[in-house]
Amino acid sequence: MITYIIRRLFAAVVLLFIVSAVTFAIFYLVPRLAGATPETLATRYVGRAATPETVSLIAHKLGFYDPIWVQYGRWIKGIFVGADYNLGASVDHCPAPCFGYSFITREPVWPDLVDRLPVTLSLAVGASILWAVFGVSIGAVSALRRGSLLDRTAMGFSLAGVSLPIFFTGMIGLLVFSYTLKWTAVGGSYTPFTQNPADWFYSLLLPWIVLALQFSAQYARLTRAGMLETMGEDYIRTARAKGLPERAVTTRHGLRAALTPILTIFGLDVGLLLGGAVLTETVFSLPGLGKYAIDAITNNDLPKVLGVTLMAAFFVIIANLIVDLLYAVVDPRVRLG
């Protein structure tokens, strides 16, 4: 088990290097191959009044005249030993792990990522609990009462949940529950948990519900399909035949087996969300990693894009690892090694 985890972690590090190299190449090499000069790259970091001399100065400062591998090497070096950035009257030291430095906001990327993570974490954890509980429960009940009014209503509801995009449900939710009924917080009112847990809960309630609405719909459908298949298996008949109560048959044998594929997708979904729930964070103006990523892309702030991409990749890799480990717990047939 320990060997397996170490091997997977080593593979994760290699994978992160590959992701970083590919991302770096997309943002720094591809434009050069398409004909962009160091000066045209530098124009993204200067104002509209910049003279050619200023553009050239900034291209030098940002190292755009260096070969791409030198630029990449410098970036990698920053992760391990940190880097210094001249700010005119002062020098800003970006300590390791220095995941780059934004020349638009003049801030190191890593502290930004660390600062934004709790917001995304709060959103992802809260919403995932909601969708897991409601999605799986609705799916299980629907499967057990197949064809009933409850089943049809739940599946109709989940179809709507899957179909409606978050930027629509989010805006409607804000309009109805925040601005009209005043039941939930307005957009942009996130309060950190450490500052005020009640306000934190209040500010995230609607984003949780909106995000969970879409996911719980998928989970309800998946659970229902899984349960229907499992409940028709021979071992379920055997369990009933040996006199187990129906509740034990359903939960211990039926639901547990149906949960294995759901666990896989749950891990991936949470991993992806930790990399940034872009739409939800944008609609509700939550200062998380998703909003950070979209703002960075809008502003052509490449060091930030690179940093957030790596963090998202990290979470997906780790979530996959955790899911693989949990397989062994949920399904005794799986053995790791």
Partner 1 sequence: MIRKSRVLVAGTAVLALALTAACGGNDDSNGNETTTKAEFNAALTKVFNPSDKKGGTIRMANAGDWDTLDPGETYYGYSWDFLRLYGRSLVMFKPAPGKGSNELVPDLAESLGTPSDGGKTWTYKIRKGVKYEDGTEVKAADVKYAVLRSTDKETFPNGPAYFEAFLNLPDGYKGPYKSKGMNTDQAISTPDDYTIVFHLKQAFGGFDYMAQLSQTVPVPEAKDTGAKYKEHVISSGPYMFDQNNLGKNFSLKRNPNWDASTDPNRKALPDRYEVALNVNADDIDNRLISGDLDVDVVGTGVQPAALGRVVGDPALKAQTDNPVLARLWYTSINPTVAPLDNIECRKAVLYAEDRTGYQTAYGGPLAGGDIATTLLPPAIPGYQKFDLYPAGPDNKGDLAKAKEALTKCGQPNGFATNMAYRAERPKEKATAEALQQSLARVGIKLTLKPYPQGDYFSAYAGNPPFVVKNKLGLLTNGWGADWNDGFGFLSQMVDSRVIRETGGSSNTSVRIPEVDTMLDQAIVETDADKRNAMWGAIDKRVMEEAVIMPGIDAKSLMIRPKNLTNVFISEAYGMYDYLSLGVA
Torsion over CA of 215, 221, 223 and 226, rounded to 10 degrees? Answer: -140
Distance in Å, CB of 106 to partner 1, minimum: 4
**Strand bridging mode 91-94 / 83-86:** antiparallel
Task: With H, G, I as helix, E, B as strand and everything else as coil, classify residue 241.
Answer: helix
Distance in Å, CB of 193 to partner 1, minimum: 16
Nearer to partner 1, 3 or 195 (CB): 195
Distance in Å, CB of 170 to partner 1, minimum: 9
The residue assigned the tokens 């291209």 is: 59
Nearer to partner 1, 262 or 283 (CB): 283
Nearer to partner 1, 52 or 243 (CB): 52
Nearer to partner 1, 8 or 44 (CB): 44
The residue assigned the tokens 């600062």 is: 115
Distance in Å, CB of 298 to partner 1, minimum: 8
Distance in Å, CB of 318 to partner 1, minimum: 26
Amino acid at 50: A
How far is residue 220's CA from residue 135's CA, in Å, rounded to a whole number? 4
Nearer to partner 1, 174 or 270 (CB): 174
Q: Which residues in this chain contact partner 1 in the complex, by CB under 8 A?
A: 35-36, 39-40, 43-55, 57-58, 61, 87-90, 92, 105-107, 112, 171, 174-175, 179-180, 186-188, 282-285, 287, 291-292, 295, 298-300
Nearer to partner 1, 260 or 285 (CB): 285
Distance in Å, CB of 320 to partner 1, minimum: 30
Q: How many CB atoms lie within 10 A of CB 29?
A: 16
Distance in Å, CB of 130 to partner 1, minimum: 22
| Residues facing 10 on adjacent strands | none
Helices 256-274 and 197-230 meet at what angle, rounded to 10? 140
Nearer to partner 1, 66 or 295 (CB): 295
What burial letters (b/e) apply to 85-115, b meaning 16+ CB within 10 Å? beeeeeeeebeeebbbbbbeeebbbbebbee
Residue 283 structure tokens: 């609609």
Q: Which long-range contacts (CB under 8 A, 24 or more apart) does 4-13 make?
A: 4/336, 4/337, 5/321, 5/325, 8/321, 8/324, 9/321, 12/314, 12/317, 12/318, 12/321
